[in-house]
């Protein structure tokens, strides 16, 4: 008789009683040793390969350009395996029966499933396992910008001697961004050898801590950027040649209640979030105001709203998104023509004021709103079965001010 193990044949004789025992064992323990093509190994002999299984994938994020080295652990990986990230085949560098080293392929931004396939055998799909993104960064109160996951580290940028940082934004496509201080100063930061050029025309309130948020137009890059800053009274200030704000924008003179601004992708306008949860449309240039948001979370007299984000693909007539409150609650809203999103039950909730920022995954939709919430100590928490973005900067006190990704 011949015993096959890892494709090698060894001829020897065995009593019939022992052969019978081995055959019984192979029936009880399928997927292990192979005797005459019967399962006796981990897919490394002859006969059909067993179904692989996946335990962990590390890291869980990387750039759309691909080339990220990923380690997959699990079991029953066959002699020949393939790995797909979504529908795109990665490159297997090496593997054993319990570990695979692969490099990611080029892919579009967003969260993908990872599929391990044994040649001639089964496959295993780990859902929502890997996020293609240009970068994920958090901001501390002193101006420190910190990468999460495998995002490139900051190479240049501001750092203040006091807690003056208020907001941070990442350039579309990555490559650094800007930190906003409480006086309205805009400070470039970099994660490569190229530092973004300082934009011109920004509003500045020296000695008055009133600046609250910053957004960039979608065409911004390291060489030329434009956008808007928000002050606490609701004033929206263009910089870098961004279109002027049209008349009729919200303004709360003398009342420091404005929190966040978001832009529509076509920069025809956007929305302003106040601390009570009110969402106020504004227009740019000669455009009309976007349609009003309906049925949003509102906490009159309670300054607890912390962030507001629009789902990808928003327009002036059809938009949807979520407000984040300080406890971690996500409150859906939409225009009358928008598709009101569904808040995932898979998210953190603290019951005290510690949630600080929320961002959607790039390929989120109203029916599958995935993303991450950042708490005041820097922790990043998954929403909607999104992959974990670890490691991240974490502090013993509430000094994390913002998060951005794309």
Closest C-alpha to 181, from 210, 201, 153: 210
214 with 147, same domain? Answer: yes
As for how many domains the chain has, the answer is 3
Contact (Cβ atoms closer than 8 angstroms) between residue 64 and residue 41: no
**Residue 250 dihedral angles phi and psi, to the nearest 5°:** -65, 150
Helix (H, G, I), strand (E, B) or coil at 282: strand
| Nearest-angstrom CA–CA distance, 268 and 288 | 8
Burial class (CB in 10 A: 0-12, 13-18, 19+), 168: buried
Range(s) of the domain holding residue 373? 134-406
- Residue 188: the pLDDT is 98
High-pLDDT (> 90) share of the chain, %: 84
DSSP structural state of residue 326 = T
Which of the two residues, 193 and 303, has the higher pLDDT score? 303
Average confidence (pLDDT) over 267-274:
98
Same domain, 143 and 208: yes
45 assigned to some structural domain: no
Please report whether residue 253 resides in a domain.
Answer: yes
Per-residue pLDDT for 29 more than 80?
no
Q: Is the pLDDT of residue 151 over 70?
A: yes
Q: Decide which of 114 and 26 is more confident.
A: 114
- Per-residue pLDDT averaged across 26-46, rounded? 36
Q: 371: which 2 tokens?
A: 């993303």
Residue 25 has pLDDT above 50, yes or no: no
* Residue 35 burial (CB count, 10 A): 21
Comparing 177 with 9, the larger pLDDT belongs to 177
- Check residue 38 and give its pLDDT: 31
Q: Say if CB 263 and CB 282 are below 8 A apart.
A: no
Residue 48 lies in a domain: no
Better-scored residue on pLDDT, 33 or 232: 232
In the structure, what pLDDT confidence band is assigned to residue 332 with cuts at 50, 70 and 90? very high
Report whether pLDDT(35) > 90.
Answer: no
- Average pLDDT score over the chain: 89
248 shares a domain with 152: yes
- pLDDT for the residue 36: 34
Could you tell me the CA-to-CA distances from 247 to 281, 286, 289 in Å, in that order?
12, 9, 10
pLDDT for position 120: 87
Tell me the pLDDT band of 404, cut-offs 50, 70 and 90. very high
The pLDDT of residue 108 is above 50 = yes
- Report whether pLDDT(23) > 80: no
Q: Please report the pLDDT score of residue 339 as a whole number.
A: 87
Average pLDDT over residues 280-291: 98
- Do 142 and 123 sit in the same domain of this protein? no
369 has a pLDDT exceeding 80: yes
Cα–Cα distance measured from residue 21 to residue 38, given in angstroms and rounded to the nearest whole number: 13
127 and 100 together in one domain? yes
- Give the three-class secondary structure for 16: helix
Torsion angle of the four alpha carbons 377, 379, 383, 389, in this order, in degrees rounded to the nearest 10: 150
pLDDT of residue 30: 38
Domain CATH code at residue 155 = 2.120.10.30
The full DSSP string for 81-149 is EEEEETTEE-EEEEE-SSEEEEEPPP--SEEEEEEEEETTS-EEEEEEEEEE-S-EEEEETTS-EEE-T
Could you tell me whether strands 211-216 and 186-189 are parallel, antiparallel, or unpaired per DSSP bridges? unpaired
In three-state secondary structure terms, 19 is helix
Among 31-35, 48-52, 371-375, whose mean pLDDT is lowest?
A: 31-35
Q: What is the pLDDT of residue 48?
A: 62
67 with 17, same domain: the answer is no
Contact 63, 83 (CB under 8 A): no
43 has pLDDT over 50: no
Q: Are residues 172 and 281 in the same domain?
A: yes
Tokens of 58: 């590390």
Please give the C-alpha separations between residue 60 and each of 71, 113, 361, in angstroms, as whole numbers.
10, 11, 13
pLDDT at residue 197 in the model? 96
pLDDT per residue over 88-98, tens digit each? 999 999 999 99
Regarding whether 215 and 323 lie in a shared domain, the answer is yes
208 and 261 inside one domain: yes
pLDDT at position 193, please?
86
């Amino acid at each position: 008789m011949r015993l096959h193990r890892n494709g090698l044949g060894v001829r020897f004789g065995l009593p019939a009683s022992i052969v019978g025992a081995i055959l019984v064992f192979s029936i009880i323990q399928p997927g292990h040793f192979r005797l005459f093509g019967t399962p006796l190994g981990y897919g490394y002999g002859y006969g059909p390969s067993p179904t692989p299984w996946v335990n962990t994938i590390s890291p869980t994020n990387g750039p759309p350009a691909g080339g990220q080295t990923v380690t997959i652990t699990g079991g029953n990986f066959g002699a020949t395996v393939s790995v797909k990230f979504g529908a795109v085949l990665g490159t297997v560098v090496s593997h054993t029966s319990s570990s695979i080293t692969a490099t990611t392929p080029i892919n579009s931004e967003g969260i993908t499933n990872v599929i391990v396939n044994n040649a001639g055998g089964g496959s295993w799909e780990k859902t929502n396992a890997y996020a293609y993104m240009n970068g994920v960064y958090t901001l501390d109160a002193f101006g420190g910008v910190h990468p999460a996951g495998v995002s490139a580290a900051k190479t240049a940028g501001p750092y203040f001697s006091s807690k003056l940082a208020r907001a941070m934004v990442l350039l579309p496509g990555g490559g650094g961004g800007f930190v906003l201080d409480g006086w309205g100063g805009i400070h470039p930061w970099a994660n490569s050898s190229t530092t973004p050029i300082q934009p011109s025309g920004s509003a500045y309130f020296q000695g008055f801590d009133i600046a609250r948020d910053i957004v960039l137009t979608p065409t911004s890059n390291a060489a030329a950027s434009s956008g808007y800053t928000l002050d606490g009274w609701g004033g929206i200030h263009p910089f870098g040649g961004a279109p002027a704000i049209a008349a009729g924008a919200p303004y709360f003179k003398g009342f420091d209640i404005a929190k966040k601004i978001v832009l529509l992708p076509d920069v025809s306008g956007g929305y302003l979030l106040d601390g009570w949860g009110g969402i106020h449309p504004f227009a740019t240039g000669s455009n009309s105001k976007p349609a009003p948001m309906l049925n949003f979370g509102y906490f009159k007299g309670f300054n607890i709203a912390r962030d507001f984000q629009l789902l990808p693909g928003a327009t002036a007539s059809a938009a949807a998104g979520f407000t984040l409150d300080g406890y971690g609650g996500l409150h859906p809203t939409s225009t009358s023509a928008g598709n009101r999103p569904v808040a995932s039950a898979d998210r953190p909730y603290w019951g005290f004021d510690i949630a600080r920022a929320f961002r959607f995954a790039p390929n989120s939709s109203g029916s599958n709103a995935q993303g991450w919430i950042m708490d005041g100590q820097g922790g990043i928490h998954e929403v909607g079965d999104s992959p974990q973005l670890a490691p991240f900067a974490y502090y013993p006190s509430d000094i994390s001010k913002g998060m951005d990704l794309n």
